[in-house]
Structures are given as structure tokens and as C-alpha cells.
Amino acid sequence: MIMPRFLDVEASSLSIDSYPIEIAWSDHQGNIERRLINPYAVDGWRDWDYNAQQMHGLSRKQCREEGIHPKQMCNLMSQSIKPGEIIYADGGAFDENWVDVLYSEGSALGYAQFKVVHSDAIMLPLLTKIEFDEKKRWQLYENLKLEARRMVGTRHRAEPDVQYLIELWKLCTSKAS
């Protein structure tokens, strides 16, 4: 089954100075690739929120020890995600911004050649086939989100969050067919 591609980013915080520390993305078959990013590789990446660390469970030390350089991350992502391709994320503008921050530091171009779009843009149209009433459609969508979250369990880590989006897409397509 060919499916849309999904992406999730974990970050140092939600502040304006935040940067990505973990990124996961899927291919069209649902295989997921995930990497930590070493924040010590970029001089300006000093922002850190310990409340965010509590949520995702990643320390700066772990990112330094297990993370790769932003240039290596951009190379991996650019080899996997083709120019002009759309990849869906439920963090919307947040995930798009963190991809921009990554590529501004790690890519010679200074930007990603793929587009990050909110995952609602691909999920909700599937549900219009079975539910015409917008309020009921959103309620159905929220119920499917809960079901997908129960299936995956873990959250606030990039790989399980991408798996959640894959499961949600599968639930939406099965409802729509």
C-alpha cells in the first residue's frame, strides 16, 4: 500500500530560539527513519527547556552523544525526501519551522526542497466521503485520533509520533473505503 509520507520533530523547546533535536520520517510503505541531532554542533543552539525534556525524555547530553551533525541530517533527509515532495506533520507550522531551522544550519541551500504540510490536510478530506456534516466529521476525526494514539501508546518522541500518523491515516482510509 502506497501511503503519504509523515514527519515529526522533537525540539529543544517551544521558544523562538528552539531547534530540532530529533526527527523521524516515513517512506511510502510506512518504514520510519529516525535520528537524534547533536545541538553542540551549532554554536547558536543553546536554548533548552527542561519541561520539554520531561515530555520527550531526551537530554542535551544524550543528543550530543547519540546525535548527528545537522549537515548529516539534512543529507539523509534530502536523499530520502525528493525535491517538491510533500510530507505531512501534525505539528504543522512548528514542524515546518524546525525543518527550516535545521536546513538553515545544515544545508548549502539553506532550505529544504520538500514541503511540510499539516496532516489534517490529507486526513480530513478522506472523511468527507463518509461524513458530510463538518461538526460530526471533526468528532469522528478526534475519535480516530484517540484510537490511533491508543494503538501506538508512546508519544512525544519522533518515531512513535510518525507511527501514530501512519495508524491514523490507515484508520481514516479504512473508514472512507
Task: Check whether 156 has a pLDDT greater than 90.
Answer: no
Task: Check whether 1 has a pLDDT greater than 80.
Answer: no
Contact 68, 89 (CB under 8 A): no
Q: What is the pLDDT of residues 77-101, one digit of tens each?
A: 999 999 999 999 999 899 999 999 9
Query: Whole-model pTM?
Result: 0.95
Short-list 54, 80, 43, 104, CA closest to 162: 80
In degrees and rounded to multiples of 5, residue 156 shows phi and psi of 65, 30
- SS3 of 13, please? coil
pLDDT of residue 160: 97
CA angle 119, 60, 18 (to 5 degrees): 45
pLDDT of residue 154: 80
Sheet containing 20-26: order of strands: 7-11, 20-26, 32-36
Task: Check whether 164 has a pLDDT greater than 90.
Answer: yes
pLDDT of residue 52: 94
> What is the chain's mean pLDDT, rounded?
96
Cβ count within 10 A of residue 115:
14
Contact 52, 11 (CB under 8 A): yes
Q: What is the pLDDT of residues 104-150, one digit of tens each?
A: 999 999 999 999 999 999 999 999 989 999 999 999 999 999 999 99
DSSP string, 111-166: S-SSEEEETHHHHHHHHTTT--SHHHHHHHHHHHHHHHHHHH---SSHHHHHHHHH
Please state, for a pLDDT cut of 90, what percent of the chain lies above it.
94
Q: Which pLDDT band holds residue 59 (cuts at 50, 70, 90)?
A: very high
